[in-house]
Amino acid sequence: MARTSVLYAGSTGSCEVSRRPYLTQTVPREMDDNLIRLGVIGCGGFGLFALQQFTQVPGVTLVGMAGTHRPAALAAAARFGVEGVDEIDALIGRDDVDLVYIATPPFLHHPQAMAALEAGKHVIIEKPLALTVAQADEMIAAARRLDRLLVANLMQRYNPLFDIIGKLVERRVLGEVLHGWFENYASDENLPPDHWFWDREKSGGIFVEHGVHFFDLFAGWLGPGKVEAAQVGVRPGTTIEEHVNCTVRYGDFALVNFYHGFHQTGRMDRQELRLVFERGDITLDDWVPTRARVHAVVDERQTRALCDLFPKARLDVTVPYGGKYRACRGRDQDIDAYQLIELSYGEGRQKSHLYGELLRSMMADQIAWVRDRGHRRVATEVNGRDSLATACEADALAHPRAGGGR
pLDDT digits (tens, 9 = 90+) for 120-132: 999 999 999 999 9
Q: Given this model, what pLDDT does residue 16 score?
A: 30
Q: Given this model, what pLDDT does residue 27 score?
A: 38
Q: Given this model, what pLDDT does residue 272 score?
A: 96
- 247-264 pLDDT, tens digit per residue, is 999 999 999 999 999 999
- What is the rounded CA–CA span in Å between residue 2 and residue 222? 7
The phi, psi pair for 73, rounded to 5°, reads -70, -40
- 209-234 pLDDT, tens digit per residue, is 999 999 999 999 999 999 999 999 99
Q: Are residues 224 and 293 in the same domain?
A: yes
Q: Are residues 64 and 86 in the same domain?
A: yes
Q: Are residues 213 and 308 in the same domain?
A: yes
Fill in the amino acid letter for 55. T
With the CA atoms of 66, 26, 361 and 161 taken in that order, what torsion angle do they form, in degrees rounded to the nearest 10? 120
Q: Are residues 256 and 304 in the same domain?
A: yes
Q: Does the pLDDT at position 398 exceed 70? A: yes
Q: Given this model, what pLDDT does residue 76 score?
A: 76
What burial letters (b/e) apply to 335-360, b meaning 16+ CB within 10 Å?
Answer: bebbbbbebebbeeeeeeebbbbbbb
Q: Given this model, what pLDDT does residue 43 score?
A: 78
Q: Given this model, what pLDDT does residue 80 score?
A: 82
Least reliable range by pLDDT among 80-84, 209-213, 366-370, 396-400: 80-84
Q: Are residues 119 and 249 in the same domain?
A: no
Q: Does 338 map to a domain? A: yes
* Residue 41 exposure: Cα atoms within 13 Å on the Cβ side: 28
The H-or-E segment that residue 217 falls in is: helix 212-222
Q: Are residues 261 and 173 in the same domain?
A: yes
What burial letters (b/e) apply to 160-176, b meaning 16+ CB within 10 Å?
Answer: bbbbbbbebbeeebbbe
Residue 198: domain span? 157-350
Q: Does 388 map to a domain? A: no
Q: Are residues 324 and 339 in the same domain?
A: yes
How many folded domains does the chain comprise? 2
CA gyration radius, the chain: 22
Q: What order of strands is seen across the sheet that includes strand 254-264?
A: 225-234, 241-250, 254-264, 177-187, 270-277, 280-285, 292-298, 339-345, 314-320
Q: Are residues 346 and 357 in the same domain?
A: no
Mean of the per-residue pLDDT values of the chain? 89
Fill in the amino acid letter for 170. E
Q: Does the pLDDT at position 84 exceed 90? A: no
The phi, psi pair for 54, rounded to 5°, reads -60, -40
